Amino acid sequence: MITYLYHKRHKQTGLNYFGKTTQDPYIYTGSGTHWTRHLKKYGYDIETIKVWEFQNLEECSKFAVDFYVHNNIVESLQWANLRIENGMDGGHTPGAYTTEARLKKGAKLKGRIFSKETLSKMSLSRKGKYAGPSNPMFNKSQSTKQKEIASKTLNHQIMCLYCNNKFNLGNYSRWHGDNCKKAP
């Protein structure tokens, strides 16, 4: 399997990223935490500066570590990398999340009490997923045909089978049908 090491740069901000992939390195954008957040904030206007191709993982790893040391990547503010790229990590790592690890993490978080500030931030975060421009229904008004159909549906009369009371479809609930006092 071919392994690629790549150097990418954001065209607007100049932030660099060094990474490894087995996919097409010119299409693959990278997966580092700081790098992906940067792309979400400033856009995906990036360029691929250099790509290195390796068949041997040991050569790849040696080159990656040397490149890191030579460019002082982790300590430099010009690079988005948070840890050393060794050319072997990343992608699917079997056994990374074992059952034991998941249970340990769950036990650690169980019973955790959050501050009111944290709870409000979590609430706003969840609301943000369903409200605003990311929601496909945001700022979409109903067409006149949709409004007409909805008004006909809501004004449609339904008669209870047991008490013969009439209800608008919008006001009739299954509860009345199941709990009518005159029902046998």
Mark out the alpha helices in the chain (DSSP H runs). 33-42, 57-71, 99-109, 116-130, 144-155, 174-179
Q: Is 46 exposed, middle or buried (0-12, 13-18, 19+ CB in 10 A)?
A: buried
Query: 38, 71, 104: which is the final residue of a domain?
Result: 71
Residue 152 is assigned to a structural domain of this protein: yes
pLDDT band at 18 (very low <50, low <70, confident <90, very high): very high
The domain in which residue 165 lies consists of 144-179
Percentage with pLDDT > 70 across the chain: 70
Res. 40: pLDDT tops 60: yes
Q: What pLDDT is recorded for position 104?
A: 77
pLDDT per residue as tens digits for the range 64-112: 888 988 888 877 889 988 877 777 766 544 455 567 777 777 777 787 8
Q: Distances in Å between the alpha carbon of 149 and those of 57, 119, 152, 156?
A: 64, 40, 5, 11
Residue 46 is assigned to a structural domain of this protein: yes
Residue 80 is assigned to a structural domain of this protein: no
Query: 37, 71, 105: which is the final residue of a domain?
Result: 71
Q: End-to-end distance of the chain based on CA atoms, in angstroms?
A: 73
Q: What pLDDT is recorded for position 92?
A: 46
pTM of the model: 0.50
Query: 24, 43, 71: which is the final residue of a domain?
Result: 71
Total number of domains in the chain: 2
Residue 115 is assigned to a structural domain of this protein: no
What is the mean pLDDT of the segment spanning 26-50? 91
Residue 124 is assigned to a structural domain of this protein: no
Residue 43 is assigned to a structural domain of this protein: yes
Q: Output the six-digit token pair for 119.
A: 């709870």
pLDDT per residue as tens digits for the range 111-158: 788 888 888 887 777 765 555 555 555 555 656 666 666 666 556 677
